[in-house]
């Protein structure tokens, strides 16, 4: 994994905005309407706003930032959203906007004594989207996470943590550096770290379990990576609330085929079948 330490001497503040969009899909086979409803309920329980808040606060800590403000919501009939404002450096309490709830997550859920300020475009957000296919008994769970930072901190360092936090069959990741800063000679810098691929920031063992494709536009500092799980032969990981050994071999084969078709279409972004 590559380092992201900023060794460039800058004139003034680092004005670059680094945004990571992390999008995962978990695909499942739930045959009956009751099983589909139970799957949605299970997902809502497993990834409610409270757990998602912990994930985002862990991300904040791992990138070296601090929580200023948290808003979260569970939706009916399903889904959840969390938004976290973050900061790099603390400032005096009298400068804090009174509308901020000053929430800070720790294991005891106690309020942190340090008060921190929101820097423009420094935030994390997550949204969940469970849904069921109307015809072929395939259900999907999508998670969208956006991590946007300014200054020296970078969201690329948390990719392995994010991938490990979810059961991910398909992953799409976008990373973009926007704006510019200046070195001490006044020269504009449109990126403060070398980069060739998002894959360079993902554990090699993780990459071995996926097929990966890059689409990068280097001149605009835009990077895109897609990953598709290679092995879905263990149906225990995909069939919801059923014993796969009670399913006839022919039906198991059909389930595997439908799962793979769904994944390929999501990965490709095209209705192929």
Catalytic residue among 127, 132, 139, 168: 127
Catalytic status, residue 127: yes
Residue 88: partners with Cβ closer than 8 Å, 6 or more residues away? 64, 65, 66, 119, 122, 151, 152, 153
Catalytic status, residue 150: yes
Phi, psi of 108 (to 5 degrees): -95, 0
SS3 for 47? coil
Joined together, the tokens standing for residue 110 give: 């106690």
Catalytic residue among 28, 57, 132, 150: 150
**CA–CA dist 197, 250 (Å, integer):** 41
Catalytic status, residue 100: no
User: Is the preceding peptide bond at 77 cis, omega within 30 degrees of 0?
Assistant: yes
**CA–CA dist 138, 263 (Å, integer):** 10
**CA–CA dist 78, 75 (Å, integer):** 5
Catalytic residue among 49, 122, 139, 148: 122
What are the b/e assignments for 22-38, b being 16+ CB within 10 Å? bbbbbbbbbbeeebbee
Question: Annotated active-site positions, please?
Answer: 122, 127, 150
């Amino acid at each position: 994994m590559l380092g992201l330490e900023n060794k460039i001497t800058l004139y003034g503040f680092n004005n670059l905005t680094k945004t990571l969009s992390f999008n995962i899909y978990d695909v499942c086979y739930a045959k009956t309407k009751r099983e589909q409803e139970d799957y949605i309920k299970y997902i809502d329980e497993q990834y409610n706003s409270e757990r998602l808040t912990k994930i985002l606060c862990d991300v904040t800590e791992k990138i070296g930032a601090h929580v200023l403000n948290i808003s979260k919501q569970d939706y009916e009939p399903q889904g959840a959203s969390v938004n976290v404002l973050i900061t790099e450096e603390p400032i005096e309490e009298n400068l804090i906007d009174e509308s901020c709830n000053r929430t800070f997550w720790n294991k005891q859920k106690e309020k942190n004594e340090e008060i921190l300020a929101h820097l423009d475009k420094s935030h994390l957000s997550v949204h969940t989207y469970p849904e069921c296919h109307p015809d072929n008994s395939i259900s999907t769970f999508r998670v969208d996470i956006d991590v946007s930072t300014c200054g020296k901190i970078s969201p690329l360092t948390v990719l392995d943590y994010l991938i490990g936090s979810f059961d991910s069959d398909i992953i799409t990741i976008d990373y973009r550096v926007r704006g510019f800063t200046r070195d001490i000679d006044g020269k504009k810098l449109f990126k403060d770290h070398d980069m060739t691929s998002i894959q360079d920031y993902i554990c090699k063992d993780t990459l071995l379990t996926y097929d990966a494709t890059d689409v990068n536009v280097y001149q605009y500092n835009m990077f895109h990576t897609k990953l598709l799980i290679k092995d879905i032969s263990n149906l225990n990981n995909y069939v919801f609330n059923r014993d796969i050994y009670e399913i006839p071999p022919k039906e198991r084969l059909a389930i595997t085929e439908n799962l793979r078709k769904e994944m390929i279409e999501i990965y490709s972004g095209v209705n192929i079948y």
